[in-house]
Chain A
């Protein structure tokens, strides 16, 4: 039996390096750089299918995972990505850190920096925390979610998952429905999808729509049916119960009745629609179980692809920011 091999006819990509020290947000990336990350992630995905899921590329590099907010999926995903690239990894979670003893973020960072790690993966509740660290640290900073600002690797893995299924991003209608106000995933996805030429619709209760969001080049509606109509992708965002200090809507039950994604509502979408959710899901709030577990759902593919995309980001940033002629 002969095995088909894709010939290496991909044209040389126009962008062959990430010209940044850090990955702080999608806002800083060009479409060419986004494509480079996604192409590299395709190669990285294959590493995860091997009997020995490890390559020596980042041997001798130290990566600190500094998480000031609870996270299972993202932290585990980064850690697996780092280990598959042979980096040495170190996890610092808030409960065990000096922060509980009153140390500031800058002091924590400078102390870590003194032990010369090569990269710091940071999740923090304050928007801009990664930018602060980027200014005071020589290490490469990778944003794993900062406040309400950005979550770039999530948007990259979402784009990777869409491209894997649809073969492209440009021209697709993507409906993003849920808590728009508190979502860094939304912001990163809007930047990425609009840069790549997708038609982005966002939908949620008017109380949860950030002011001025239209300026980012998206359609805004509070009618779920209008958002879902002919959509290629429907992405649900979590109702962030822990960030709901005000009364944004009457009850979770009412939210589900008006905005929850059900099979009934999906009738309006394209027949090959993809259902996405960055997790963790509130079943019966933003998404019905029959949709989450249904045939259109790619939610677990998103998780699987997260490792490949994070490997690509770690690999591409490990080269450093200054660029001489290619070796």
Chain B
């Protein structure tokens, strides 16, 4: 069960991404961060903290639950509905540049759902995608603007991002199919 990123590596990676964000956007004016539940929200809050350290400015941060926008809802004849959690975006996204943050970029379907959900909140100037890990295997034409680590994977493998806030540790783990309790995938 190889650890592909440890706590130090995750910390340095987020700092590097924060600098890239400042460089590309010439500061943080007009920026807002929206994390995709669950782990994207924690990464989003960490990025907001680092951006504050770098620039001294607060960047508004929100949480997006994409469940009601999933493209696989109601696709199974019968089955339990995925849990819906609260979306909290307490600022107008109109005319801002939104940094959409997720832990793993995989098929791109979560990102597609997140884009649709965001557009229902208003009309941002631009949306830029931030991911901690890009594991490939895109099924939709979606590309990240800021990538923590490009991680070549097989579809049968599973990428687990564990964060202090939810899992008590900071690491990214690549699990082969068997160790993942028969469940392929991980991230979307």
Contact = CB atoms under 8 A, between A and B. Distances in A.
Contact of A61 (B74, B90, B166): B74
Interface residues of A, number: 45
Interface string A11-39: 01100110000000000000000000001
Contacts of B177: none
B11 interface: no
B48 interface: yes
A46 interface: yes
Interface in B76-114: 76-88, 90-91
Nearest to A56: B69
B81 A319 contact: yes
B60 interface: yes
Contact of A3 (B41, B62, B86, B120): B62
A16 B79 CA distance: 11
Chain B interface: which size bin? 35 or more
A327 B60 contact: no
Given A320-B79, A327-B79, A6 B60 contact: no
Given A1-B60, A54-B120, A57-B73, A43 B81 contact: no
B121 A315 contact: no
B68 interface: yes
Contacts of B42: 7-8
Given A57-B73, A326-B80, A3 B85 contact: no
A281 interface: no
Interface of B: 35, 37-38, 41-42, 45, 48, 52, 58-63, 65, 67-69, 72-74, 76-88, 90-91, 116-117, 120-122, 165-166
A118 to B, nearest CB: 9
A312 B86 CA distance: 12
Given A3-B61, A52-B121, A58 B88 contact: no
B60 A316 contact: no
Given A8-B37, A58-B74, A43 B79 contact: no
B76 A327 contact: yes
A40 to B, nearest CB: 5
A115 to B, nearest CB: 19
Contacts of B72: 327
A80 to B, nearest CB: 16
A250 interface: no
